[in-house]
Structure 1
């Protein structure tokens, strides 16, 4: 029986434009199918039909629908890494840029996001990618906090981790299970909360090094 790692790995990495387009069609079709039918009923047959490829062609690229869902989740993580939003001067403006980027990255299809977060297989590949992404974000925000004159928290390393985890977790929950709070109201309140924390946090300056 194949290991989980090989069971979830794409079978074919396209080397030609045509093959890359086919793979992209399969992933786009899967996103629609999972959002429309849910994961359990989002079969590879339905995905192949929506992508206008044979089921045999689909299996040339992905061994099963778990591998397809994992690839969609990895794409979602990569889409969130869009460069440095921390070049703005004001603390509130920078916090807003961080929050807005997270919202924009999650708002395209909340139903698909919920399926990816709740039902995606937790492979070592995925865990490693998520950890790398989070560590890069923490390092980026820590460097910003350490040099910004409006930041008053004593432990910038802890503050950077709190900012990253708060924005990611709350954004995931809000966009995957939307309630009465609109994205704009959510953005305003989260920005206000984080800005107050960063500009008025207690403690000494030992963490700022």
Structure 2
């Protein structure tokens, strides 16, 4: 319970800090487009050159935005990164939530192996689309406390959603501790995704996915 309270407090503090992270909140279409251009350019440069080798001057130049305009939206390069990470995590959560809609709910009830496989394949697709960004984040987790904290909060949200999924068929689960089961299931899926996306495995992705699905299914239901 204490750990949960600490994480919740961190979430609240982060939301409070966001109020001062961005100096200017664009309302007009042109201003919103300028801010989006800064974010897209920064993301590309972070992926190509790395976060620490990218400067705000370079971001502004590549985005064709005056450096003064960049600083009117973001205090510094760190705030640009954190906004990109926040948007990325929200997009991730939105796509994860779609697994709960319509036919996917029925699928999770009637064909659990297929539902597990769809989940894994969806996560692989997301990570492949942002492979370079994820690689850069892995390095930043250990050097930027803010990135590490956002990562922990994101993991908490994923865990909560997995627990919610388990609630649909909790009477069929062989495990009784949904929180721990959610963590273990997420760790297994993350390992599968990381191996497929970030390593050159001599084993085909289908073999890895299918075996991973069997492991998760047997852990939860057999």
Asked if Structure 1 and Structure 2 have the same fold, meaning a TM-score greater than 0.5 normalized by the shorter chain, the answer is: yes
- 1:123 has 2:153 as partner: no
Q: Larger RCO: Structure 1 or Structure 2 (Cα < 8 Å, ≥ 6 residues apart)? A: 1
Q: What does 1:47-196 correspond to in 2, within 5 Å?
A: 47-81=59-93, 82=95, 83-86=97-100, 87=105, 88=107, 89-119=110-140, 121-123=144-146, 126=150, 129-130=153-154, 132-147=156-171, 149=172, 151-168=173-190, 170-172=192-194, 175=197, 177-180=198-201, 183-196=205-218
Structure having the larger proportion of residues in helix? 2
Q: How big is the shift at 1:132?
A: 4.9
Check the 8 A contact 1:29/1:51 in 2, yes or no. yes
CA RMSD of aligned residues (A): 2.9
Check the 8 A contact 1:145/1:156 in 2, yes or no. no
Moved more, 120-129 or 188-197: 120-129
Structure 2 residues not aligned, in runs of 5+: 1-13
Structure 1 residues not aligned, in runs of 5+: 201-209
Q: How big is the shift at 1:188?
A: 3.0
Q: How big is the shift at 1:27?
A: 0.8
Q: Structure 1 residues 6, 76: CA separation in 2 closer, same or farther (over 3 Å shift)?
A: closer
Q: Structure 1 residues 195, 126: CA separation in 2 closer, same or farther (over 3 Å shift)?
A: same
Distance 1:155 1:7 in 2: 37
- 1:25 has 2:37 as partner: yes
Distance 1:111 1:61 in 2: 25
